[in-house]
Amino acid sequence: MRIAHLSDLHFGRDQHQVADAIISQMNQLQPDLVIISGDLTQNATHEEFQAARRFLDQLQQPAHVIPGNHDLSPTNLPERFLYPWRKWQHYIQPETEPTTETEDAKILGLNTARRMGWYLDWSRGRLNEQQMQRVENELQNTQEEKLRIVVAHHPFWLPTRSQHRKLVGSRDEALTIFDQAGVDLVLGGHIHLAFAQTLQGVVISHAGTTTSDRLIPGQPNSFNLIDGNRQRLTITEWDWQKNRFEAGKTTGFLRQNGEWQHSRPVESPYQPN
Ligand SMILES: [Fe+2]
Ligand SMILES: [Fe+2]
């Protein structure tokens, strides 16, 4: 099974050449599924959602797409409070929390973006009990060999240089439920920094911003390619280098007794061309 994980496209702040390259790169790599973990737009305007729609229409592969905090209007407060997902539903898809099931995997999207919160920074995200319950219910009768993936925009783990950012709210409760439900992989974005890590026996992996110019120092535009099955996985970060994407760091994982751990050494599944 092969999954491409893109994130934080931020149409409105997108770089056309990079977005175009993604379409041809996907055709070349031929993933079974493309996962996009939120922030499709910069300011949730009609024009930006239309650009995101055009991008999705060009993708030849099936896509599993969830929203991020930037897909809520930052300035149109009636829209933000009364019908926050209207444009999302009009341009992208009816669901904000899709479920995708393939021969090899079950993928659950969770919407962690919120209209407001009891804190000043409304870009933060959280999970509620119903969402955790859904993960439990939907994974209950999933075939043992299927990879179980949760996609949520906000982070469950933060690398050292992103410690100033906030973890998704209710992270610990969610992780306990995920562990009981046999979740293998949690995919996210938001911090525009790519990583692949284990936490309590689950693989947590984020893609950087795939197409936008909202870059943090030292992290180019990127997407991740996930290859493998429920026993063994590799996650390869593909980075934008001058004028094309190139396979970079590969991290390997092994599942033993229901727990994922790093496997070493790891050989890149991709040969330079
Ligand atoms: Fe973002
Ligand atoms: Fe975000």
Sheet with strand 232-241: strands edge to edge: 63-66, 33-37, 2-6, 222-228, 232-241, 244-256, 259-263
DSSP designation for 4: E
**How many angstroms does the Cα of residue 11 sit away from the middle of ligand 2?**
13
Q: How far is the C-alpha of 195 from the C-alpha of 72, rounded, in Å?
A: 26
**184-199 pLDDT per residue, tens:** 999 999 999 999 999 9
Beta strand residue intervals within 119-217, DSSP E: 147-152, 185-188, 195-199, 202-206
pLDDT value for 111: 98
Gap from CA of 69 to ligand 1 centroid (Å): 8
Tokens of 20: 């175009």
Say how many Å lie between the CA of residue 212 and the centre of ligand 1.
9
pLDDT of residue 85: 97
Do 27 and 52 touch, CB atoms closer than 8 A? no
> pLDDT below 50 — which residues of the chain?
none
Q: 204: CA distance to ligand 2 center in Å?
A: 17
Rounded CA-CA distance 205/155 in Å is 9
Measure 167 CA to ligand 2 centroid, in angstroms: 12
Q: How far is the CA of 188 from the centre of ligand 2 (A)?
A: 9
Question: Measured in angstroms, how far is the CA atom of residue 92 from the centroid of ligand 1?
Answer: 17
Centre of ligand 1 to C-alpha 264, Å, is 31
CA angle centred on 192, ends 117 and 1, rounded to 5° = 105
Ligand whose nearest atom lies closest to the CA of 209: 1
What is residue 121's predicted lDDT score, i.e. its pLDDT?
A: 77
Q: Considering every ligand atom, which ligand is closest to the CA of 192?
A: 1
The SS3 assignment for 82 reads helix
β-strand pairing of 147-152 with 105-110? parallel
> Domains along the chain?
2-262 (3.60.21.10)
Q: Record the pTM.
A: 0.96
**Residues, Cβ < 5 Å to ion ligand 2:** 39, 68-69, 190
pLDDT of residue 272: 61
For the chain, the average pLDDT equals 95
**52 and 63 Cβ atoms separated by less than 8 Å:** no
Model pLDDT for residues 225-254, shown as the tens digit of each residue: 999 999 999 999 999 999 999 999 999 999
Q: What's the pLDDT at 245?
A: 98
pLDDT at 270: 81
173, 168, 163: which is closest to 151 by C-alpha? 168
CA of 48 to the centre of ligand 2 (A): 15
For residue 215, the ligand closest to its alpha carbon is 1
CA of 228 to the centre of ligand 2 (A): 28
For ligand 1, the distance from its centroid to the CA atom of residue 142, given in whole angstroms, is: 31
